[in-house]
Structure 1
Amino acid sequence: MENKKNYIKWIRSKVGHDKIILVFAGGCIFNEKGEVLLQKRGDSNKWGFPGGAIELGETPQMAAIREAKEETGLDVEVNNLIGIYTDICMEYSNGDKAHSILIAYELSAIGGKLFCDKEETLELKYFSLDNMPELFCKQHEDFLLDIKAR
């Protein structure tokens, strides 16, 4: 593979829509009020935590940092691991099937500025943990439960 970015596109060119294992990394970013940042996703029009697939050559921490920048415009650092979540029967709107694993961290914003590209990220908003919207997948719901339990 010439370009280590876009691993999912490359692997899908080999296996089509067949079920594969995919590993994602992401995290929660809190503001000074204790609210958590969510991203309204372009692929589902639903809310979720910033994050995405780990690319070849990346650690989960590197992927969480890169994805936060790409999806929110914020520069972040990884504070600690919140948990690892799995969904063995994920199916995407395009027919792709996956056994997905999410490695989720608490992240701190250390710079940058909130930015929506209006494609991958339709909207960014901080939510109170007591007033969260419906999240786009079970892994993110389980992540939220662990955040609330802390």
Structure 2
Amino acid sequence: MSDYISWLRSHVGPAPIQLVFAAVCVVDEDRVLLQRRGDDGAWGFPGGAVELGESAEEAAVREVGEETGLDVRVTELLGIYTKYWHTYPNGDRAQPITAFFRGTPIGGSLHETDDRAGAPPGAETLEVRYFHLDAPPQPLTNQQHADALADLRAGRSAVHR
């Protein structure tokens, strides 16, 4: 969790808030990269909070690097997904507003996918792995990620929900 979100939560507690995120659907041939999250153990697209002063694209590229070890190039906007709610394992509720991008790997190396058994408590990423576009793990972390995957598979772009 970013320092900004921690700061915001220290002021509002678990009350519902809006949070701005960016994520990349990293596609390599007919496979898509997914991250198993540390907070709920579910799979989703790598991404995270947009920091103050950062663009959505900058945040998406930074987060993918931090969470997966890959350097990526954003190729296009998949869509902006806004009308969703997410309840985190600690009970915090948020309306995530997420810019999902398509992207391709251009460098770096994927973090080990050994179930990250040695990951420290509170780690954001437990595992990263490519899945065939037609065989992702289910369910994904939330409906927002499921809708983005459906749009990616359908070849849509510039989606707004």
Please report the TM-score for the alignment, with normalisation by the length of structure 1.
0.91
Distance in 2 between residues matched to 1:39 and 1:98, nearest whole Å: 20
Of 122, 129, 133, which aligns to 1:125?
Answer: 129
Which of 94, 101, 104 aligns to 2:97? It is 101
Unaligned 5+ segments in structure 2 are: 156-161
Q: Is the 8 A contact 2:34 2:46 kept in 1?
A: yes
Q: Deviations over 1:90-146 (max 9, x none)?
A: 211111111111100001111111115732111111111111111110000000010
> Runs ≥4 in structure 1, deviation > 3 angstroms?
none
1:145 is matched with which residue? Answer: 150
Tell me if the contact between 1:87 and 1:138 (Cα under 8 Å) persists in the aligned partners.
no
Q: C-alpha distance in 2, partners of 1:89/1:75? A: 30
CA distance in 1, matches of 2:56, 2:98: 9
Q: Percent identity?
A: 51
- 1:9-24 matched pairs, under 5 angstroms: 9-24=6-21
Q: 5 Å matches for 1:1-150?
A: 6-31=3-28, 33-115=29-111, 118=119, 119-134=123-138, 135-150=140-155
Contact kept in structure 2, 1:19 and 1:99, CA below 8 Å: yes
Q: TM-score, normalised by structure 2?
A: 0.85
CA RMSD of aligned residues (A): 1.3
Contact 2:84 2:143 in 1 (8 A): no
Partner-residue secondary structure (3-state), 2:51: coil
- For 1:13, the aligned partner's letter is S
Q: Return the offset for 1:86.
A: 2.4
Give how far 1:87 is off: 4.3
- Structure 1: unaligned runs, 5 residues or longer: none
Query: Residue by residue, what CA displacement relative to the aligned partner does 1:72-100 show, whole Å, maximum 9, x if unpaired?
Result: 01111111000111244321111111111
> Size of the alignment, in residue pairs?
145
1:96 and 1:13 mapped to 2: Cα distance? 12
Contact 1:24–1:53, Cα closer than 8 Å, also in 2: yes
Secondary structure (helix, strand or coil) at the match of 1:40 reads: strand
